[in-house]
Structure 1
């Protein structure tokens, strides 16, 4: 992948981006440019896996899907890889899920990449019309739940260890931050 990335001139098309295939690094497409970050830490992945496990049954009961680290097209030339999404019942064989199928998007804040999750991706997800945004701070295990209002998100709740997040949309679920350490 390194040769393909560094030997490339000019903007990236979606076809060129998707042709990179699976990588150890997280490679996202933001406005025709690549955004490359190292793979997540074991703590990050553990939190993501535990969160998916908590959501699995309520998501299935609602006829939806919960997926980790999939390509989501927010608009042409903008394909991030959220840590976790709750989607409509999508075709699992596609390379990219459309934002219109995403009901909730979750990012687990990496210390080295906090601004991307708190500012850039938050703006992009709201602009794409994704209703719910869950932001999990892996350092403090604090969960921030946002709901879209127009082109922006409004914070609906902050949940710290010892408390419980009671999701009612897009599914009913109770999430306790300390349970995400598994």
Structure 2
């Protein structure tokens, strides 16, 4: 199916749910309009799988990390983002949802890609803040691998640190250790 076969009107959540899945593209909806970009490349995929696993292993049992989870940011006009990594409650994750509501998301991580750098650094920074997501991290895989952490303060994100190498972070009272270089290494090492 080509992009020309997709709807030519502002999408609703029902329209979104009825769209065919595509392995060719990364697809989101922004204010009712399809946003299509190339699928991420190998290091991107490797890093988000490893990061999701490491977060899941270190988070308290009340939280759960998932990769490529649809997040309904707004229903009218419809905005559905598919962040690289999402942290939600374990209770929500255990329902095995097709998508999660933004109110149930405490952390979003975006891994920068060639086609999404501006969107991740600018558009999503404001969009996720407006939606009330408490933590937003941006992971840059270009050497040296780095992580910028943002936290919502009075409705806006504040930069809570820029890191490279092995990182120790406080996430809502939980100590997390992430080896940023190991995210793209040939063989994964536990943090």
**Preserved contact between residue 106 and residue 133 of structure 2 (Cα < 8 Å):** yes
What is the alpha-carbon distance in structure 2 between the residues aligned to residue 21 and residue 64 of structure 1? 30
Give the structure-1-normalised TM-score: 0.91
1:155 and 2:159 correspond: yes
Deviation at residue 8 of structure 1 after TM alignment: 2.4
Q: CA RMSD in A?
A: 1.7
Q: Deviations over 1:97-123 (max 9, x none)?
A: 001111110000002210010011111
C-alpha displacement of 1:80: 0.4
Q: Count the aligned residue pairs.
A: 179
| TM-score (normalizing by structure 2) | 0.87
Contact 2:53/2:65, CA 8 A, preserved across alignment? no
Q: Secondary structure at the match of 1:8?
A: coil
Q: CA–CA distance in 1 between the matches of 2:49 and 2:114?
A: 19
Runs of 4+ deviating beyond 3 Å: none
Give the structure 2 partner of residue 81 of structure 1.
Answer: 82
Contact 2:108 2:135 in 1 (8 A): yes
Which digits, 9 at most, give the CA deviation of each residue in 1:65-119, with x for residues without a partner? 1000011011110110000011012144322200111111000000221001001
- Does residue 29 in structure 1 map to residue 32 in structure 2? no
Counterpart secondary structure, 1:121: helix
Deviation at 1:7, TM superposition (A): 4.9
Higher strand share: 2
Structure with the largest fraction of helix: 1
Q: Counterparts of 2:135 and 2:106 in 1: how far apart (Å)?
A: 6
Which structure 1 residue ranges, 5 or more long, are not aligned?
A: none
